[in-house]
Amino acid sequence: MEAAYKQYYKQGLAIIGVDVTQDQEPTARAFVKKDKLTFPVGHDTSGEIISLYAVQAVPTIILVDKTGKLVERHVGELTKPELRQRMDALLK
Amino acid sequence: MQDVQTVVDKLFLIVSIVGTLFVLTEMVLRYFRKSICSAVGCKLVARYARFGDISILLIGFVTFSLLIACTIMSSYFNKTAFGEYVNLILIVSLACEGYFAGFQAFRVHKPCMFCLTVFAFIVTLSLLRLLQGEREIIAGFAAMAGVFSLCYLILPVESTVRIEGHPAVPAVGQPAPEFDLTLFSGQKVALKDFLGKLVVIIFWSSG
């Protein structure tokens, strides 16, 4: 994800990381630090976003296009090529 | 009366054979990546089947073949026993057809001509069976109506309809639900801040 972010940032990619762990903020912070994540990452403390997007498993990846429309909902990891393919198609 | 029964018996066998050939033709055509049906529905249905549409075709082929076998057997050997098998196969087929019809009508919203033809074959065979005085086939029609109605009644998981107490899954193609998020840096972001960009929202757990 971090690599994709660096590669596509200039073309208009934004990544928002939502940590769904309810009560382990220190772990999450350490994780962000360790992996040197540069995209915005936050904590869904109230669980509001989780229920808004009906997230039932992690990771869940949601793609929102430039007009704010939800274009894909993916449950599970995306491999680098899978991610690239989507970025290339949606950033055209 | 005896003559009418003989005609119905023969008709039943003929329709079963035509049905088998019909499914067989489609199987051969599918092998060459062609199809009897040119409607979008068929291609859609193929995509929804776990092992591709060949699995469904095989089931159809076996069903029709069994019908032929049991019909022939019942006229040569034990009429009652094999007649029961024919009824059983038809009742199960009618219930399954109820699902196929419901799936096309309420899920993919597109008809598949091939499936509908098979549907017609099964219904015709069942009606012929009724004409032969096999009343239990009515159970098959009842099951078909039941399964078909359930397809209408039960909403797909992706449905956006909110049921009390259960969060609805936001639909693909609809505006993504707006939210605010406080980042670890303390900064606040909202989804609308990212309009004009491709946004990837990742939900994960660090714990």
Q: What is the distance between the alpha carbons of residues A65 and B178, in angstroms, rounded to a whole number?
A: 13
Contact A54 B170 (CB under 8 A): yes
Contact B206 A21 (CB under 8 A): yes
Contact B187 A40 (CB under 8 A): yes
Ranked by mean pLDDT, which of A25-34, B10-19, B39-48, B157-166 comes out on top?
A: B10-19
What is the arrangement of strands in the sheet containing A70-75, beginning at the earlier edge strand? A41-43, A13-19, B198-204, A60-64, A70-75
Q: What is the distance between the alpha carbons of residues A22 and B206, in angstroms, rounded to a whole number?
A: 10
For B157, name the nearest residue in chain A, comparing CA atoms only: A54
pLDDT attached to residue B101 = 92
Residue B14 pLDDT exceeds 90: yes
- Give residues with Cβ within 8 angstroms of B122, minimum separation 6: B19, B90, B93, B94, B97
For A44, name the nearest residue in chain B, comparing CA atoms only: B181
Contact yes or no for B158/B106 (Cβ under 8 A): no
Q: Shortest Cα distance from B203 to chain A (angstroms)?
A: 5
Q: How confident is the model at residue B161 (pLDDT cuts 50, 70, 90)?
A: very low
- CATH 3.40.30.10 given to domain A2-90: yes
User: Among partner residues B171, B182, B200, which is closest to A13 by beta-carbon distance?
Assistant: B200
Query: What is the mean pLDDT of the segment spanning B100-116?
Result: 84
pLDDT attached to residue B46 = 67
Contact A63 B169 (CB under 8 A): no
Global ipTM? 0.90
pLDDT attached to residue B42 = 64
Instruction: Return the domain boundaries, chain A.
Output: 2-90
- Residue B57: burial class (beta carbons within 10 Å; 0-12, 13-18, 19+): buried
Query: What is the mean pLDDT of the segment spanning B109-116?
Result: 82
Run of H or E residues at B69 = helix B53-76
- The beta strands (E) that lie in B52-195 are given as 180-182, 188-190
Structure tokens at B5: 């029964």
**Is A78 touching B (CB cutoff 8 A)?**
no
Helix (H, G, I), strand (E, B) or coil at A81: helix
Q: Which of A70, A71, A75, A77 to mutate to test the interface with B (most CBs of B within 10 A)?
A: A70
Run of H or E residues at B40 = helix B40-48
Contact A59 B203 (CB under 8 A): yes
Question: Which residues face A18 on adjacent strands?
Answer: A42, B203
Q: Shortest Cα distance from A68 to chain B (angstroms)?
A: 6
User: Among partner residues B199, B200, B206, which is closest to A28 by beta-carbon distance?
Assistant: B206
pLDDT (tens digit per residue) in B53-96: 788 889 999 999 999 999 888 888 877 889 899 999 999 999 99
**Is A12 touching B (CB cutoff 8 A)?**
yes
Distances (CA, A) of A26 to A43, B62, B90, B174, B207: 11, 60, 63, 35, 10
Helix (H, G, I), strand (E, B) or coil at B188: strand
What is the pLDDT of chain A when averaged over all its residues? 81
Residue B20 pLDDT exceeds 90: yes
Q: Classify residue B110 as left (phi > 0), alpha (psi -120 to 50) or beta.
A: beta
**DSSP 8-state secondary structure symbol assigned to residue B184:** T
For A20, name the nearest residue in chain B, comparing CA atoms only: B205
Domains of chain B: 2-153 (1.20.1440.130)
3-state secondary structure A19-63: ECCCCCHHHHHHHHHHCCCCCCEEECCCCHHHHHCCCCCCCEEEE
For A17, name the nearest residue in chain B, comparing CA atoms only: B202
pLDDT attached to residue B1 = 59
Contact B199 A59 (CB under 8 A): no
**Is A29 touching B (CB cutoff 8 A)?**
yes
User: Among partner residues A55, A59, A62, which is closest to B176 by beta-carbon distance?
Assistant: A62
B193: how many CB neighbours lie within 10 A of its CB? 14
pLDDT attached to residue B114 = 84
Contact list in A for residue B168 (CB cut-off 8 A) is 54
Q: Which of A2, A7, A16 to mutate to test the interface with B (most CBs of B within 10 A)?
A: A16
- Residue B6: burial class (beta carbons within 10 Å; 0-12, 13-18, 19+): exposed
